[in-house]
Amino acid sequence: MNLTVTPTRKADDLTLVVSGEVDVSCADVLRDAVAAAFDEQPARIVVDLSAVPYIDSTGIGVLVGAAHRAAEEQRGFAVLNPQRNVLRVLALLGVQDQLNVTHDA
């Protein structure tokens, strides 16, 4: 399955809608999309993982790195709607708070 990342701008937020499995073979696609999002200078970057059934440690590393960069640049950062399997991995690694994991109601 190919990984796609679709950026959507709404007011001061830039949302990256990620679709597909995120692993070592395609983490660079996510990394590049996140870097491009920072170049857009949004107040907050949101990474929507609702269409991501699997993420490995490389993908999580990209997200954690992005969260740290956002904090350094005083921007908001959040991970939105991770599927149950992804959420479980984030919880096991203890990065939910760093990533500001939220769910749409």
Q: Do residues 47 and 80 lie in contact, with contact meaning Cβ atoms separated by under 8 Å?
A: yes
18-76: per-residue pLDDT in tens?
999 999 999 999 999 999 999 999 999 999 999 999 999 999 999 999 999 999 999 99
At 1 the pLDDT is: 59
pTM of the full structure? 0.94
Taken in order of first residue, the domains within the chain and their CATH numbers are 4-102 (3.30.750.24)
The whole-number average pLDDT for the span 1-15 is: 92
71-104: per-residue pLDDT in tens?
999 999 999 999 999 999 999 999 999 999 998 7
Query: CA 96, 100, 104, 105 torsion: positive or negative?
Result: positive
Q: Judge residue 83's burial from the number of C-beta atoms within 10 Å of its C-beta, 0-12 exposed, 13-18 middle, 19 or more buried.
A: middle
